[in-house]
Amino acid sequence: MINKKSLWFLTLFSLILVLSVYYVTMPTELLLTSNGKYNTDTQEKKKENKNEATVSIEESEILTSLRVEADEQMVQEINELKEILTNSESTTEEKNQAFEKMKNLNVVRGEEETLEKNIKSEFDLEAFVKIDGDQIRVVVVADKLDNKQANNIMRSIQKNYDTKKYISVKYQK
């Protein structure tokens, strides 16, 4: 039988979990903006500092579709795990495993975003990263990607891990 303390703990914990999933899946542009002032202020500063033409780069449709697909898959997995957690017939062990998988999904999602930011900052390339166990798949938007640059991307990703990972880099236009 569940007592009041356990019920409150489970309720608050699930609320925190839902909010953390929302925060992790939230686009980073929303976090950086403060009522839309960030974009206009930084663009004005860039125009003042440089007399060069401003180029706006839009994300590739391929990257967008890959991200949407990955997000849908993650939401589906989280919903399945939530069903296990809220099911009264599930055993404690099943609930613990579901919770651990949910935590692991959040950690993996954070790693993927971190690797994407690293590729953007180091190589100035838009990329999509998908981690599946020890396999890491990278899709880079570029007209052409030479072997040296792909190798550098692989090394950059591998230095973040202690164990050997199978990393594949693919480029798309």
Give every CB contact of residue 125 below 8 A, 6+ residues apart in sequence.
119, 140, 141, 142, 153
* Third-level CATH fold of 4-25+63-172: Helix Hairpins (1.10.287)
The pLDDT tens digits of the residues spanning 65-118 come to: 888 898 899 999 999 999 988 888 888 899 899 999 999 999 999 999 999 999
Q: Rounded to whole angstroms, how far apart are CA atoms 119 and 152? A: 10
Domain residue ranges in the chain:
4-25+63-172
User: Residue 17 in contact with residue 102, Cβ under 8 Å?
Assistant: yes
Task: At 44, list the tokens.
Answer: 């004005």
Q: Rounded to whole angstroms, how far apart are CA atoms 32 and 25? A: 14
